[in-house]
Every structure is written in C-alpha cells, then in structure tokens.
Amino acid sequence: MHIAAPNETLMARRARLLGPAYRLFYEEPLHIVRGEGAWLYDADGRRYLDAYNNVASVGHCHPHVVDAIARQAAVLNTHTRYLHEGILDYADRLLATMPAEIGHTIFTCTGSEANDLAMRIARACTGNDGLIVTRFAYHGVTESIATASPALGQYITLGNHVRTVAAPDSYRIPPERLGAVFADGVRAAIEDLRAHGMRPAALLVDTVFSSDGIYLDPPGFLREAVEAVRAAGGLFIADEVQPGLGRTGDACWGFQRHGLVPDLVTMGKPMGNGHPLAGLAVRPEVLAPFARQCRYFNTFGGNPVSVAAGMAVLDVIEREQLRANVRQVGEHLRARLRQLATRHPRIGDVRGAGLFVGVELVDDAAGTPATALAQRIVNGMRRRGVLLNATGPDVNILKIRPPMVFSMAQADLLTDTLDAVMNEVAGR
C-alpha cells in the first residue's frame, strides 16, 4: 500500500526540484490526490469543497470527458497539418455559440498563447501597437502578454505600448455612471498613447474583470468603452478564459451580457475541463491581414485528443443543462451571501452573476479594503474544508467560482462555513 509522504517532505522536494518561482495556495498547503465533481480529496482521504477551480468547468474528472480523452488517445493524437474531422466538428460547434460575425477559430494550448496571438492579429489588422488593459488585469504569462498583466505583481514592467485604466468599480461608482466613467478612462488612455506617438491596436478586457475584483453589472456598461476604442482605430478583444462557457448563467460568453460583438474572443482553461485546450475566435476580416503576413502553427493546439475533450465539455453543458444550474444555484448563493452581509458588517458588497461571485471585505464604513481579514478567512475556510481565494488590487475580495455542477446543498455548505469562519475571526 502506498503511504503518502508528509507535506513537509513534499514541500522540500518541490523546492529542490522545481525551484523558487512556483507558489502554493494557503498557509497550510494541500496535497490533493483525487477529484470528483465539486470535491477534491487529499492524501489522507479528507474531502474539500472546491469553490474556486473553474478549470474543471463541468466538475473534476467528469466521466464523459475522461472517456472522450481516453478513446481518442487510443486512436490518434497528432497536429493540425493533417486533415482531421475532429477539429472541424469542434470548431463548427464552438462558433455556433457566438455571433454570426465571428467566423474563424484558431486553437492553442493555453489562454496566454491565445491572448498573445490575439494581440499579434490586432496589430496586423490595425497597423497600431497600443494596448489598453485594466489596472490589475491578468491575461497571461508569455513575455509579450505578461507586460500587459499588471496582476503579476511589482516585478512585471508594463510595456511602453501598454496603458491601464481603472476597473469599473460597481461598489463605489453608481450604476448609471459606471459605463461613462470606464469609457472616460479608455479615452484618456487613447490620448496618452497619441501623446507618445502611438494609436491603440486593442482594448483587451476580461469580461468579468476577475483579477480587478469581479465587476459584471449593470449589463451593457462596456459598450461605450468599446465604441471609444473602435473610433480611435482599435479593436475589442474579449478575454473569455474565466467567464466563458456559461459561467455567468445568462449567456455562453461574458461579452454577450453587454450586447456586444467583439473583434476577437480569447478562450482557455475551462474549454477542456483541465485538458490543455485554448484558442481564439475572430472576425474573418480581422484575421485576413495577419494571414497575409505570416502562417500560424501550434504543434499541440487543436490536436485530436484536446478537441475531443472540448467536444465532451460542450456535451455535458448541454445534456446536464449546466447553464440553468449555474443561474439557479448562483442566485441562491448570492442571496445567502447577502443574508450573511446583514449580520457581518465587514462584508461590504456581494456581486456577480451565475457562479462567478465576489464578496468584498472592508474594515470600516468608508470601504477600506480588509486585506488581512480576507487572508484569515481564506485560510480559515481551507481548514474547515472549503476552498476559495481572494482577488483584487488589495486582495480583499473573496473570489468564488466553483465548477458549473455546484449544487444548492454545496452553496449552503459554503455560506454556512463562511458564517462560522467570520464569527471565528471576529472573535464572536
């Protein structure tokens, strides 16, 4: 019988073999050995409710996805320079979820690659170099896209062509002004680019602003900013790595919540339920100039096993009516969290849509970010068997984004545990 090594031993081995650049979650790191649905199991058999991992979009180790991967891996796995029906069937089905104006798709292995490629396409199409992102955005880790990902921290130097704008803070800005305020920030960024001899190639936003603090409402507030960047000769790139495939419950993609048709859509992790599948979808007229200038090839992007995983994920979302589940369970979860806010004044705001929820923690009535409290809660929840994390520039916003199979009972377990942990850290 295999006996699991102590966590301290694994951590020491990890440091020796993987070096210091990697990071672990939680003050007491977890040794996870198995997953099923919305549950993760550690080496001692203890189970944890996963309220954070959107990579396993339809649940950890979903049997239909696992079977699709295994069946295709037993037959063929190769690259896209041979004809294969699998990638075409999947592309057809994926594009059918998007507006008719978006007609092509290109597959990669990671969302970072997808955003990197989207920027290359935008530059080729517009002839411009400037990129506008939000102030605490995360879009990937390739060299070019890391310089447009301020969430990576103080050691990342933003590119000279990158301008940042304040996130659309729906907690502090009235809903009727939110769109105009965000658009004014985009216009100021455009003017600053012009002052330095540049024009915008694109506005790139995660359509739920997950790293900035999770801002989804009111629907439609993005429209004025998109119009502003297009008027200046730029494109709109919707980063759907986190909100995509129905996570908001009301639409398949986050941009649809705003009634917009992007020029490019980037996608990632949840597409393959953990299998490395990502890509972008694009208007044909936007892709054409790039295609005239160069070829694109990605050895593993769109390989037969990956697209089999992607097809199986779409099967599960449809057959198990997961968008409806996301909508219903998400409404219940936010209602329960708002009930908690009436008893815990340190909860300043509860926001989100579907199963993408932010709980902003504050130290006082003025809304001062409660960073230390958030960390105590995240680690207290982990000790009690519920996994989530915190986000935002001040890391004071609890980020809740469980797999789409999350149930009402699991939502209740999460909120009951949060209630207990908040009472504990408050010394009640």
Q: To 5 degrees, how large is the angle CA 338–CA 340–CA 346?
A: 100
Phi, psi (5° rounding) for residue 4?
-65, 140
Q: How far apart are CA 91 and CA 103, in angstroms?
A: 10
- In this prediction, residue 41 carries a pLDDT of 98
On whether both 284 and 171 belong to a single domain, the answer is yes
Q: Which of 295, 319, 343 is the last residue of a domain?
A: 319
Average pLDDT over residues 109-135: 97
Q: Which of 319, 350, 379 is the last residue of a domain?
A: 319
Instruction: Tell whether 209 and 312 lie within a shared domain.
Output: yes
Q: Please tell me the predicted confidence (pLDDT) of residue 54.
A: 86
Q: Phi and psi (nearest 5°) for 363?
A: -95, -20
What is the reported pLDDT for 427? 62
Q: Are 244 and 369 members of one domain?
A: no
3 state SS of 341 = helix
Given 259, 290, 319, which residue is the final one in a domain? 319
What is the CATH number for 236? Answer: 3.40.640.10
Same domain flag for 240 and 250: yes
Shared domain check, 77 and 199: yes
For residue 251, pLDDT beyond 60: yes
Same domain, 420 and 333: yes
The confidence band for 271, taking pLDDT boundaries of 50, 70 and 90, is: very high
- Strands lying side by side in the sheet with 32-36: 32-36, 39-42, 47-50, 386-387
Q: What does pTM read for this prediction?
A: 0.95
What's the confidence (pLDDT) of residue 295? 86
The helix (H) or strand (E) run that includes residue 391 is: strand 389-391
Q: Within 13 A of 358's CA, how many CA atoms are on the CB side?
A: 26
**At what angle are helices 322-343 and 304-319 packed, to 10 degrees?**
70
Percent of the chain, pLDDT > 90? 91
Domain limits for position 346: 7-58+321-425
Range from 10-24, 206-220, 357-371 carrying the lowest mean pLDDT: 10-24
- Would you state the pLDDT for residue 155? 74
Identify any residues that bridge with 387 across adjacent strands, giving them in sequence order.
50
C-beta of residue 207 within 8 angstroms of C-beta of residue 239? yes
Q: How far is 128 from 211, CA to CA, in rounded Å? A: 26
Arithmetic mean of pLDDT, 154-176 = 93
The per-residue pLDDT for 269 is: 87
At 346-372, the pLDDT tens digits run 999 999 999 999 999 999 989 999 999
Q: What's the order of all strands across the beta sheet hosting 389-391?
A: 347-353, 356-361, 397-400, 389-391
> Averaged over 254-279, what is the pLDDT?
96
For 91-119, what is each residue's pLDDT tens digit? Answer: 999 999 999 999 999 999 999 999 999 99
* Three-state SS at 309: helix
**Interatomic CA distance for residues 388 and 298, integer angstroms:** 33
Confidence of residue 153 (pLDDT cuts 50, 70, 90): confident
**Residue 1: inside a domain, yes or no?**
no
